[in-house]
Amino acid sequence: MRDPFRLDGKRALVTGANTGIGQAIAIGLAQAGAHVIAAGRSSCDETVAMMGGGEALMLELADPAAAAAVVAEHKTLDILVNNAGIIRREDSVDYSEADWDDVMDVNLKAVFMLSQSFAKSAMARGAGGRIVNIASLLSFQGGIRVPAYTATKHGVAGLTKALANEWARNGINVNAVAPGYIATNNTTALREDPKRSAEILSRIPAGRWGDPADIAGAVTFLCGAASGYVTGAVLNVDGGWLAR
């Protein structure tokens, strides 16, 4: 009997795979047997080396239409992981239209357009597939000084459910993972601030910062046969933060 957690023979594209959570996801999928295309706006050569194979792809999500066209060239993809995202911090009364548009393009518009491109190809081939979007705790909470990021991550959760509703009949499962506080470059300042780090840890029932591999495990599950009847879900991987 085939291991339902294996991805042998599958082709996956992971965006934002040059570092952090995206890199861990790419490595996790490769370890499960997938051929992984690690995509990012900067070099993903390190990720490919850590995977022990696969491909690196330069992909600029600030131009969602162009990025979707690149994805369309990879006609035999089985898995798409929309991980890439940006954040701009500013008081909402001073938040610029340019920052708003930049965050919307990368975090939400690109997610839709890449998913649409992936689905069109899968449907044309009569094949199913898996899409996993990376949401956030701010898909459920408001945050402070990150209005565009919060809006996009709420949007990612809603879009995940909308696409799942439409594409389930085509064998395309669409789910999302919402990471909690993960030890990456993006959280270095928080972790190095003793007061802020202690405040965060006191709220997390697991009592620790998450590891990027924690997210990779959840994504790998959602890409394999083990989750065949899971679609439209937003899986919180947060050490219990939202349950508190």
pLDDT tens digits for 179-236?
999 999 888 888 999 999 999 999 999 999 999 999 999 999 999 999 999 999 999 9
Query: Hunting for tokens 């992909």 — which residue is that?
Result: 59
Look up the CATH architecture of domain 11-243: 3-Layer(aba) Sandwich (3.40)
Helix axes 64-73, 110-125, angle to 10 degrees: 20
The Cα 26–Cα 108 span in angstroms is 21
Q: Give me the catalytic one of 95, 149, 181, 229.
A: 149
| Cα→Cα distances 32→28, 132, 192, 217, Å | 6, 16, 33, 10
- Domain limits, the chain: 11-243
Is the pTM above the cut of 0.95?
A: yes
| Cα→Cα distances 63→34, 35, 54, 84, 99, Å | 27, 26, 25, 13, 14
pLDDT tens digits for 15-46?
999 999 999 999 999 999 999 999 999 999 99
109: tokens are 């518009």
| 229 given a catalytic annotation | no
- How confident is the model at residue 156, as a pLDDT? 98
